[in-house]
Amino acid sequence: MADEALFLLLHNEMVSGVYKSAEQGEVENGRCITKLENMGFRVGQGLIERFTKDTARFKDELDIMKFICKDFWTTVFKKQIDNLRTNHQGIYVLQDNKFRLLTQMSAGKQYLEHASKYLAFTCGLIRGGLSNLGIKSIVTAEVSSMPAWAEGLIIGLVTPTFIEPISSVGWGQCSSSRSLTSSSIC
Amino acid sequence: MSRPTHRRPEYRKINKDLFVLTYGALVAQLCKDYEKDEDVNKYLDKMGYGIGTRLVEDFLARSCVGRCHSYSEITDIIAQVAFKMYLGITPSVTCNNSSRNEFSLILDKNPLVEFVEELPAGRSSLCYCNLLCGIIRGALEMVHLAADVTFLQDRLKGDSVTEIGITFLKKPEEKKYRRKK
């Protein structure tokens, strides 16, 4: 079944549709990206449920991340993540050298600024998948070059494992105790 | 980078789930953004049109079908090759009128609604799968065939089957030839 073409085309149409129907000011304040990310979140939640129905329980967070990098990424994007790095304190960096949703775009720097639109859904997908596996996270992505050859797509994941679930500790406190920017990723 | 020699059956199913779930999330978002059902239906049709214009190239490259000589041949190919290739189902084709330009595709199984129990309250005239109509219309237009594609029956609205009606419209060039004569 040639779903890949269908999904790629649907994703591209979704991105252009969201931006075409965006009202004044929505593009600047990031509402379009939020919409796409939320859609990805919903899909990620559902997908991970169907995927992990028959798999064994995950031992720890790193096990879950390896599952995302290998099985999940292979199913969704037909290849594994090329590089996974972590600082073992909740920050993970996934690197994909040939991201399938961007391979159709022309090489060079011309459309680099627009690439973030096409990453929002995937970030939501990962965040939704992790959320249904019990991990709260913040997922960001960046592209350093098109069409995502070496050093192409870097997805940063921050999983606040020391945060209590819902409300007692605020996000501000988490980031100050973690010193995200200064931690070295091995 | 070597391709895996075989894919586990679960992977293919989950691939299909990805598309179905994405479509569901899209329709849910549209229902939030637009109040009227007609607006959502129109938007889905437009989106489907954009997809269809590109999908037809992928289809022609993969399927290598030859030139068609009649509308019924085209509809058969849509049902037996295209639907099979992309959605894994084979709708049955019926011809609705004697001039052989109105056809129906009857889907007894629709993978797009696999996770849909019922339409949301207050959305009774929402055509959930209107994307399919747009895709068929866009694809046909790229091969220079104008057609009207709508849903005639929909299981989600209480009918017994899901039926897509394709009406091929007369090409404007034919009219010009007649005038010249």
pLDDT of residue B48: 95
Cβ atoms within 10 Å, residue B93: 17
Q: How far apart are CA B164 and CA B167, in angstroms?
A: 10
Shortest CA gap B156–chain A (Å) = 21
Q: How far is A31 from chain B (nearest CA, A)?
A: 13
pLDDT digits (tens, 9 = 90+) for B84-118: 989 889 999 998 887 778 999 999 888 888 888 88
- Kindly report each contact of residues B80-85 with a partner whose C-beta sits within 8 Å and lies 24 or more positions away, as own/partner: B82/B139, B85/A1, B85/A2, B85/B59
Q: Which residues of A touch B23 (CB under 8 A)?
A: 10
Closest-CA distance of chain A to residue B73, Å: 22
pLDDT at A168 over 80: no
Q: How far apart are CA A69 and CA A157, in angstroms?
A: 12
Question: Could you read off the pLDDT of B109-161 as tens digits, one per residue?
Answer: 888 888 888 888 888 888 999 999 999 999 999 999 999 999 988 888 888 88
CA B16 – CA A60 distance, rounded (Å):
29
Interchain contact, A13 vs B50, CB within 8 Å: yes
Facing residue for A10 by CB, picked from B1, B51, B88: B51
**Helix or strand (DSSP H, E) at B150:** strand B147-153
- Count other Cβ atoms within 10 Å, centred on residue A86: 17
A125 φ/ψ angles, rounded to the nearest 5 degrees = -60, -45
Q: What ipTM goes with this model?
A: 0.84
